[in-house]
Amino acid sequence: MPLDAAVMERPVKATVKAQPLVDVRDLSVKFVSRESTNSAVNGVTFDLMAGEVLCIIGESGSGKSVTMRALMKLLPPNRTKISGHMRVGAHDITKMSESDMRAIRGSQISMIFQEPMTALDPVYTIGDQIAETVMRHEHCSRAEATARALELLQLVRVPSPERRLKAYPHELSGGLRQRAMIAVALSCKPDLLLADEPTTALDATVQIQVLVLLRKLQQELGMAMIFVTHDLGVAAQIADKVAVMYAGRIVEYGRVSDVLMHPQHPYTLGMLASTVHGNMRGQEIEAIPGSPPDLRRPIQGCSFTPRCKFAVKDCLQASPPVVQLDNGQYAACIRAGKGAMPAAPQA
């Protein structure tokens, strides 16, 4: 896939020529069942520097969550075929055994989920669950671990943390539960935090609190974060870089301001145009017609072609080239960088 080549040749712009913390190359994930093979991720390549936030934006079925679960090795091994390279820090994820993986899960890579109720164990108190994780990875005493749990609850700004240590997950409100899950995830100071739509199920007034908190924590602790979301507004709030996924591929990548304000791929542009806001009242919304392709069938050419208003004959012939712009932005579209795309609507 051409995107790999382009990204591999990408000049490292950081002042220090540091190695990226996360390096994913040509990752493909296929779900195999007796009846069909679902190519959920088709050659995804990206890297992430320590202390950076990457937002993977995509709609359901775009492969964004699968990409992240592959990085954590959380996919069922007997039904999944993974190819490509994944490296986090010094660890080659692709080659790691399950027991080695267990050792770095929670300590170097942590994950938070959309629904904390399923990620937290209902029969243990919040304090016990945080202490448990701390003890498992740092081999300290229970008293030390409990003290650390209290610190962590303070860190995630849980009000009256002493009381909450003894609370069970169902006794907490949605926002507090999400904070507790973040505390569990941060308990061993991970280098990389994976976040799978952690604010989607929250109310608007709570979502903004959690987003602001995550951003602050990420900066205070200097950790890198990969944040999966379908909401462009969330990406605008929290990301340094964004990768837009469609049909298992990254179709556009770049700095958040570049991608959201000057999108180069018609899909990104369509997403922006179809996100509703108030000053569109009374007008027809420019919706992207149709629906995403069925990934159980082979796709020829650009997978967005059937829904693209700029489609031409060439789009169906071959995979689109990855066009690189001077600002580090990339788009997998034959029109990218030609400047013929209308500017994004100002929100």
- Rounded to 5 degrees, φ, ψ at 29 are -130, 125
Nearer to other proteins, 18 or 347 (CB): 347
**Least separation in angstroms between CB 239 and other proteins:** 7
DSSP 166-178: T--GGGS-HHHHH
Neighbours of 29 (CB within 10 A): 22
How far apart are the C-alpha atoms of 231 and 200, rounded to whole Å? 8
What's the closest the beta carbon of residue 109 comes to other proteins, in angstroms?
A: 26
Based on CB atoms, which residue is closest to other proteins, 88 or 195? 195
Nearer to other proteins, 94 or 209 (CB): 209
The total number of residues written for the chain in this structure? 347
Minimal distance in Å, beta carbon 185 to other proteins?
20
Quote the DSSP letter at residue 163: H
CB of 67 or CB of 207, closer to other proteins = 207
For other proteins, the binding residues (CB under 8 A) are 34-35, 59-60, 159, 173-176, 203-209, 211-212, 230-234, 236-237, 239, 256-257, 260-261, 270-272, 274-278, 280-281, 284-291, 293-294, 305-306, 311-313, 316, 346-347
Which H helix or E strand runs over 293?
A: none
Q: How far is the CB of 307 from other proteins (least distance, A)?
A: 8
CB of 63 to other proteins, least distance (A): 14
DSSP string, 91-149: EEGGG--HHHHHHHBTTTEEEE-S-HHHHS-TTS-HHHHHHHHHHHHH---HHHHHHHH
Among residues 13 and 313, whose Cβ is nearest to other proteins? 313
Nearer to other proteins, 53 or 131 (CB): 53
The least distance separating other proteins from the CB of residue 25, rounded to whole angstroms, comes to 27
Closest CA to 262 of 329, 335, 332: 329
List the structure tokens of 149.
Answer: 């749990």
Measure the CA–CA gap between 83 and 45, rounded to whole angstroms.
12
